[in-house]
């Protein structure tokens, strides 16, 4: 763009000089970032070169501990993966359902009560900005270790994250349909059902599928902290240093995520089309 604007202004700037200027800026930016990274590493005592010096030992240790993966407990792995999928789908469904109704109260178009709108925004923002593993640690003493705590933590995270998304989505709905229904004397919930809901449902379902997919990913960490699903099993394997079985569990999680990702892509295509 700079080359063409300069050409319009009558300045004779060659294409070679234009690219040379950009190359200098790029090199300068990379060099500046490298200096900042070195200073930060020096402040925290991190040694970049130690990684490269011991890289061979790290790789050898990894192969020694984790490979080959041990699938001798495949039945237990499949059972815990199934529990993880159920927890992820349940948390995604409940969380998105609560998030949608929270978004109706938070939206500038449908939120009529200012106090309720502000309260929902504050609560959703607070819950969203606290990472789900921290919620698992906080709620552990109240609800103890188990599947219910994992479900609760994932539901909280899903609800808080999607409430903001759904609120912005409702704000972008067509105002003409809402105004037309108001002109006919429709009440508040008739406007929601006949104007807001049909327009936002496809995108909301797409985000709900993404929430389930995200819950499957986060279930490993949450399961280790809160209990339930494959995460609990990974925590047990880590505690007893059964790293070959731990690698098998991780592989099962990756396969599950890849399969669900492809399924959700196909469902999204059908919904959005």
Domain ranges of the chain: 2-66, 74-272
Query: pLDDT value at position 11?
Result: 47
Confidence of residue 16 (pLDDT cuts 50, 70, 90): low
Cβ contact 190:231 at 8 Å: no
With both helix axes pointing from N to C terminus, report the angle between 243-272 and 197-226 in degrees, rounded to the nearest 10. 180
Query: pLDDT value at position 17?
Result: 58
Cβ contact 148:88 at 8 Å: no
Alpha helices (H) in the chain, listed in sequence order: 2-8, 15-44, 48-53, 55-66, 74-106, 114-129, 132-143, 147-171, 175-183, 188-191, 197-226, 229-239, 243-272
Cβ contact 267:209 at 8 Å: yes
With both helix axes pointing from N to C terminus, report the angle between 74-106 and 147-171 in degrees, rounded to the nearest 10. 40
The tens digit of pLDDT for each residue in 206-230 reads: 888 888 888 888 888 888 877 778 8
Superfamily name and number for 74-272 = MetI-like (1.10.3720.10)
CA 139 to mean position of chain CA atoms: 21
Q: Which stretches does DSSP call E strand in the chain? A: none
Q: Flag whether pLDDT at 20 surpasses 60.
A: no
The tens digit of pLDDT for each residue in 77-109 reads: 888 888 888 888 888 899 989 998 888 888 888
């Amino acid at each position: 763009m700079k080359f063409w604007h300069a050409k319009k202004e009558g300045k004779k700037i060659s294409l070679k000089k234009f690219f040379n200027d950009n190359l200098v800026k790029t090199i300068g930016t990379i060099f500046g970032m490298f200096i900042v990274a070195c200073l930060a590493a020096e402040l925290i005592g991190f040694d970049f070169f130690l990684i490269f010096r011991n890289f061979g030992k790290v790789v050898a240790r990894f192969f020694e501990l984790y490979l080959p993966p041990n699938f001798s407990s495949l039945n237990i792995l499949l059972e815990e993966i199934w529990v993880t999928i159920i927890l992820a789908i349940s948390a995604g469904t409940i969380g998105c359902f609560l998030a949608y109704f929270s978004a109706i109260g938070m939206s500038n178009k449908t939120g009529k009560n200012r106090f309720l709108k502000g309260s929902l925004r504050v609560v959703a923002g607070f819950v969203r900005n606290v990472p789900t593993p921290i919620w698992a640690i906080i709620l552990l003493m109240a609800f103890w270790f188990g599947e219910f705590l994992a479900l609760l933590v994932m539901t909280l995270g899903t609800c808080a994250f999607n409430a903001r998304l759904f609120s912005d989505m409702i704000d972008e709905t067509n105002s003409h349909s809402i105004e037309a229904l108001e002109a006919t004397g429709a009440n508040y919930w008739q406007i929601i059902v006949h104007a807001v809901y049909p327009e936002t449902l496809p995108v909301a379902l797409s985000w709900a599928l993404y929430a389930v997919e995200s819950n499957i990913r986060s279930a490993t960490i949450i399961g280790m902290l809160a209990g339930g699903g494959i995460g609990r099993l990974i925590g047990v394997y880590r505690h007893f240093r059964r790293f070959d079985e731990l690698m098998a569990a991780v592989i099962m999680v990756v396969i599950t995520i890849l399969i669900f990702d492809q399924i959700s892509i196909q469902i999204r295509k059908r919904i959005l089309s």
